[in-house]
Amino acid sequence: MSPVEKSMRLQSLPRYLFAELERKRHEAESAGREVFDLSIGDPDLPTPGFILDRIEQHARDPRNHRYPTSAGMREARAGIAAWFQERFQAVVDPIQETAMLLGSKEGIGHFPLAVLNPGDEALVPDPGYPVYTAGVVFAGAKPVRFPLRESSGFVPDPRELDKLVTAHTRLVFVNYPNNPTGAVAPHSFYEELVAWAARRNLIVVSDAAYSELYYSEPPRSILSVPGARDRSIEFHSFSKTFNMTGWRIGFAVGAPSLVEALVQFKANVDSGAPQAIQLAAAEGLKSLGVHGPALRGVYRERRDLALDTLRRLGCPIRTPGGAFYLWGRVPEKETSMEFVTRVFDKTGVLLTPGTGFGAEGEGYFRIALTSSADSLRRALQKLETLAPWKAPHASPSPIAR
Ligand SMILES: Cc1ncc(COP(=O)(O)O)c(C=O)c1O
């Protein structure tokens, strides 16, 4: 027996579905085959110059060369509070109600460890971003999955969620604009969710990593709902908004007790985000009025290009309301994994099987719109030659909420 055995919590995480696809991808690349990777949600576009200039300037200031604080810099958090008020009409206290993060993933993954105990239960969306489950499992708590169904726009009904609540349920995760479905929640959703969570005395964790990537109405923050402030925490990211995945910077906004618990946890495991990056990112928010529409324009063009081809090929697919993903149906009689494997073997186009996001993702695949329009176009041409759906789908897809 190996002297090193993984912890039971690590071992109990859902199997890593992508290992086989990664192996195939590696094999194909080593054999000199061209791979069109539409699987990873990592923007191809560079971080804007106005942020890089600020990073450079702040990096040269020796005050930013020392340990940061776990909660983040006052100046950066003041910038976040100002943006929050302007963008969401929600007044937040920068010191008590915000914290800087090493990317929103870090906060989302750590938050359950700050508030859950072994035996507690947390409601997590299926399909959903896998980090919700991982954080809950690492905390020794139990993830209880709730389905996001296409028939209800991939938005849960609190009355359905209520059926899953037990004496052990402590919190619920929601994520809009949604990864992987691209759904945006209607305005009334947060009101209903918060009212229900208050009745059940639950914490609401809202993952708003894609809040600035939308195709029609700007999504709202859960913190703009009266009563949400007592029991909610919302996670935001600079990764998608400013093509900053590599810089690792995000923030949390929410109830003082929840933010404080997260910061106390973080103080034990990390020493905060690099200060030059905190400052530059927070200052970047002031340029969102110009940068945001341009960025959304890029994704809109890619989205429409891909939707047009996929629909022509007969793929049943909804128009996403936000984020940079397309969530389509695989051909009947094929599983998500079979479909994705076949497409990759025949064309070199790498898609994500829906089951990578939970059992409810069976029957779906995800495309990330994070490669250039040119390589997206070439990947779509490859799909056209394969025409995996064959018979065209008759009914037009409804517009996603
Ligand atoms: C739904 C969702 N939340 C959070 C994140 C984490 O983003 P980051 O840690 O880069 O802020 C991602 C990244 O893909 C995501 O898809």
What spacing in Å lies between the alpha carbon of 234 and ligand 1's midpoint?
12
* Cβ 249 under 6 angstroms from ligand 1: no
* Cβ 209 under 6 angstroms from ligand 1: yes
CA–CA separation, 139 vs 110, rounded Å? 9
pLDDT, position 391:
54
What spacing in Å lies between the alpha carbon of 29 and ligand 1's midpoint?
27
Q: Are the C-beta atoms of residues 265 and 110 closer than 8 Å to each other?
A: yes
Q: Are the C-beta atoms of residues 116 and 104 closer than 8 Å to each other?
A: no
* Cβ 178 under 6 angstroms from ligand 1: no
Residue 46 to residues 43, 51, 268, 295, Cα–Cα distance (Å): 8, 10, 33, 11
What spacing in Å lies between the alpha carbon of 209 and ligand 1's midpoint?
6
pLDDT in tens, 261-313: 999 999 999 999 999 999 999 999 999 999 999 999 999 999 999 999 999 99
CA–CA separation, 259 vs 114, rounded Å? 10
Q: Record the tokens describing residue 321, joined without a space.
A: 């309301």
* Cβ 41 under 6 angstroms from ligand 1: yes
pLDDT, position 23:
85
pLDDT, position 3:
79
CA–CA separation, 298 vs 19, rounded Å? 31
Helices (H), 249-391: 256-269, 275-284, 288-312, 336-347, 373-386
Q: For ligand 1, what atom is nearest to the CA of residue 236? A: 11
pLDDT in tens, 25-84: 899 999 999 999 999 899 999 999 999 999 999 999 999 999 999 999 999 999 999 999
Task: Characterize the bridge pairing of strands 325-329 and 364-368.
Answer: antiparallel
Among protein residues, the one whose CA lies closest to atom 14 of ligand 1: 41
CA–CA separation, 386 vs 344, rounded Å? 11
Instruction: Among 104, 126, 327, say which to mutate for ligand 1: greatest number of ligand atoms within 8 Å of CB.
Output: 104
What spacing in Å lies between the alpha carbon of 121 and ligand 1's midpoint?
22
* Cβ 366 under 6 angstroms from ligand 1: no
Least-confidence region, from 80-89, 199-208, 375-384, 388-397: 388-397
Q: Band of the pLDDT at 21, cuts 50, 70, 90? A: confident
Instruction: Bin 32: left if φ > 0, else alpha if -120 < ψ < 50, else beta.
Output: left
Residue 401 has pLDDT above 50, yes or no: no
What spacing in Å lies between the alpha carbon of 106 and ligand 1's midpoint?
9
Q: Tell the residue number behind the tokens 């402030």, with chain if given.
A: 229
Q: To the nearest whole percent, how much of the chain has pLDDT over 70?
A: 96
φ, ψ dihedrals at 70, nearest 5°: -65, -35
Q: For ligand 1, what atom is nearest to the CA of residue 179? A: 1
Is this prediction's pTM over 0.85?
yes
CA–CA separation, 317 vs 163, rounded Å? 29
Q: To the nearest whole percent, how much of the chain has pLDDT over 90?
A: 89
CA–CA separation, 74 vs 82, rounded Å? 12
Residue 396 has pLDDT above 70, yes or no: no
* Cβ 179 under 6 angstroms from ligand 1: yes
Residue 18 has pLDDT above 90, yes or no: no
* Cβ 234 under 6 angstroms from ligand 1: no
What spacing in Å lies between the alpha carbon of 134 and ligand 1's midpoint?
14
Among protein residues, the one whose CA lies closest to atom 16 of ligand 1: 179
pLDDT in tens, 200-224: 999 999 999 999 999 999 999 999 9
pLDDT, position 280:
98
What spacing in Å lies between the alpha carbon of 236 and ligand 1's midpoint?
9
* Cβ 128 under 6 angstroms from ligand 1: no
* Cβ 125 under 6 angstroms from ligand 1: no
Residue 174: beta bridge partners? Answer: 206
CA 195 to chain centre: 24
Q: Are the C-beta atoms of residues 304 and 294 closer than 8 Å to each other?
A: no
Q: For ligand 1, what atom is nearest to the CA of residue 207? A: 3
